[in-house]
Amino acid sequence: QVTLKESGPALMSPTQTLTLTCTFAGFSLSGPTMRVGWIRQPPGKALEWVARIDGDDEKFYNTSLKTRLTISKDTSRNQVALTMTDVDPGDTAFYYCVRIKGVCGSITCTYYFDHWGLGTLVTVSS
């Protein structure tokens, strides 16, 4: 059974560095076809893709957030960490950890989020 669980601080002050951890079970993040990502959602608003890491340690970031983000993995502990520097109130959101699965046709592959964590709410306020 695939499960993902987010953990991290609920309340942050502006300019601080946020670290979130995703602890997962039911699969191993190893090899180039395995992917785990982060998606966030400000309360009452739309989903926004944040970052992803592949099993071969390739990393990808939302272009608008890239300068503030670092994603990493600890395969032995089945964990993915997301660090965001210099947070501000605009970063207030539910942060979801997702497993990313792909299906390939003859030419290209498409990917989707087949399992989600419950999410963790991070509030940035002075």
Partner 1 sequence: YELTQPPSMSVAPGQTARMTCEGNNIRRTGVHWYQQKPGQAPVLVVYDDSDRPSGIPERISGSKSGNTATLTISRVEVGDEADYFCQVWDSISDHPALGAGTRVTVL
Taken in order 66, 69, 75, 79, the sign of the CA dihedral is negative
Q: Which residues bind partner 1 (CB under 8 A)?
A: 39, 46-49, 60, 62, 96, 101, 103, 108-119
Residue 109 Cβ vs partner 1, minimum distance, rounded to whole Å: 7
**Which lies closer to partner 1 via its Cβ, residue 59 or residue 77?**
59
Min separation Cβ 103 and partner 1, Å: 5
Give the burial class of 107: count Cβ atoms within 10 A of its Cβ; 0-12 exposed, 13-18 middle, 19 or more buried: exposed
The nearer residue to partner 1, 43 or 90, going by C-beta atoms, is: 43
Nearer to partner 1, 16 or 65 (CB): 65
